[in-house]
Structure 1
Amino acid sequence: MTKPPRAAIFFYDEDSQEFKVCNVQRSQVQALIDRAMAMPVLLEEQNTPNAAITDEDARRLGGMLMLMQGTTNPDLRERFKFTTERPMNWESANRGEQG
């Protein structure tokens, strides 16, 4: 029997100041997914069929998820002590909060 497709939900809990993740049946959140802007996550060897998913891919994805939470949690941004390819422009994230 095939298990139903799943979706991982990653979020920052401001009360506990922790990152949290949960795994739910995709059918439970499909309407939200359909309305969201889904961004493809490019892997290092994207052009190679069945390419390995590397440590670097995992680090990049984790960093991207944390940075996405930082766009709406200014206090969290101050805790980030990792390097990004380009400096973060949090001003553009702040403008999005005003709308």
Structure 2
Amino acid sequence: MTKPPRAAIVFYDEDTQEFKVCNVQRSKVQPLIERATVMPVPLDDHDATITDEDARRLGGMVMLMQGHTNPELRDRFRITTERPMNWESPQRPE
């Protein structure tokens, strides 16, 4: 029996000051996914193994995304990025 597709949801719990991850059936959150801004994270090589570096890159991106909506986290980050972080929201074209 094939398991239904799943989605991992990552969020920051302000009360406990913890990152939390949950795994849900994708069908339960599909309407939200369809309205969300999705950031593809391509792997370096489709046939290659998924490495520590891939995991670090994905984890760092997820944490920085939480820092965008939780400014109190920003000073705690000690993450090296290609360019300095710009926490301002991008200007939308009119």
Amino acid at match of 1:77: R
Ranges in structure 1 where 5+ consecutive residues have no aligned partner: none
1:30 aligns with 2:30: yes
1:20 aligns with 2:17: no
- Which residue of 76, 83, 88 maps to 1:86? 83
1:60 aligns with 2:51: no
Ranges in structure 2 where 5+ consecutive residues have no aligned partner: none
After TM superposition, where is structure 1 displaced by more than 2 Å over at least 4 residues in a row? none
User: Over aligned residues, Cα RMSD in angstroms?
Assistant: 1.4
Amino acid at match of 2:56: R
Structure 2 Cα separation of the partners of residues 29 and 7 of structure 1: 8
Deviation of the 1:50 alpha carbon: 2.2
> Normalising by structure 1, what TM-score?
0.85
Structure 1 Cα separation of the partners of residues 38 and 13 of structure 2: 22
Deviation of the 1:44 alpha carbon: 2.2
